Amino acid sequence: MSHASVIVAIDKAKIKANGLESALAWEMAPFDEGNEWFRDGSRWDWYQIGGRFTGSLDGYDPYTDPINMEVCNLCAGTGVRPDGLERFGADWVKSCNGCNGCEGKGQRVASQLKKHRGDILEVTRVLELGKFKFAYAFLSNRHWHEAERMGWFGAPAYTECERKDLDKPTADPDKWFGKCLHKDERTGARIICWNEPEEIWGEQFIRRFIKPLPTDTLLVNVDYHV
């Protein structure tokens, strides 16, 4: 089980028409794991705005604040994982201290961290701050970008390209270099796994993904769980 952050870029017009949570849910929907772990094209089993990464968009470092971690203990809900209450029991769910990301509605957690509420910011504001910390993934128009596919306990998992090659008798892991592109034919959603070192991903994050965005774009900091 692992947590990571994805920055989701959403046009303001979509938010005005449908509301923030609906616009975010539309972006995230194709990558829902459902009942099959590491299904091709899947990337999360629940998510929430902020969560363990509250304030990352304005330069706040969530890893230095143990309160943020405690408030967002792993939880089971009644939405994305409808069997959560039955499987884990009421006491365990109660211990989530308000963490309702399992419902997949993007509700924020750790709201007591009032000075670090920068989880929904305009592109221009993020660039002005100059303190932005790159995220594990970036999502816009249902195109999910990542340096590598995240697996359990922070370890990498096989990408869709690698999984496909593993089924061949001539599979050669030494040749698994370069981008992996995966497309969901039903939704049109895409996953681009860059397969590059974290330092390069971090150095290129703003140039690749943030600067090209229109100024009327909102960036939403999302904590997602695998």
Task: Give me the long-range contacts of 170-178 (CB less than 8 A, separation at least 24).
Answer: none
Q: pLDDT (tens digit, 0 to 9) for every residue of the chain, 226 residues total?
A: 688 999 999 999 998 898 888 999 999 999 999 888 899 999 999 888 887 787 788 877 666 654 444 444 444 333 334 444 455 455 544 544 444 443 333 334 444 444 555 788 899 988 988 877 789 999 999 999 999 999 988 888 999 988 888 777 776 766 666 789 999 999 999 999 999 999 999 999 999 999 999 998 999 999 898 8
Bridge partners, 46 (sequence order): 225
SS3 172: coil
Predicted pLDDT of residue 194: 95
The full set of domain ranges for the chain reads 3-62+109-225
User: Three-state SS for 10?
Assistant: strand
For residue 62, what pLDDT is reported? Answer: 61
Q: What is the structure's pLDDT at 52? A: 76
- Best CA proximity match to 191, nearest among 158, 160, 151, 224: 160
pLDDT at 133: 77
Handedness of CA 152, 105, 65, 7 (dihedral sign): positive
First to last CA, the chain: 6
pTM given for the model? 0.79
Q: Where are the beta strands (DSSP E) in the chain?
A: 3-11, 46-49, 120-122, 137-140, 143-146, 180-183, 190-193, 217-225
Residue-wise DSSP of 42-67: --BSEEEESGGGTTGGGT--GGG-HH
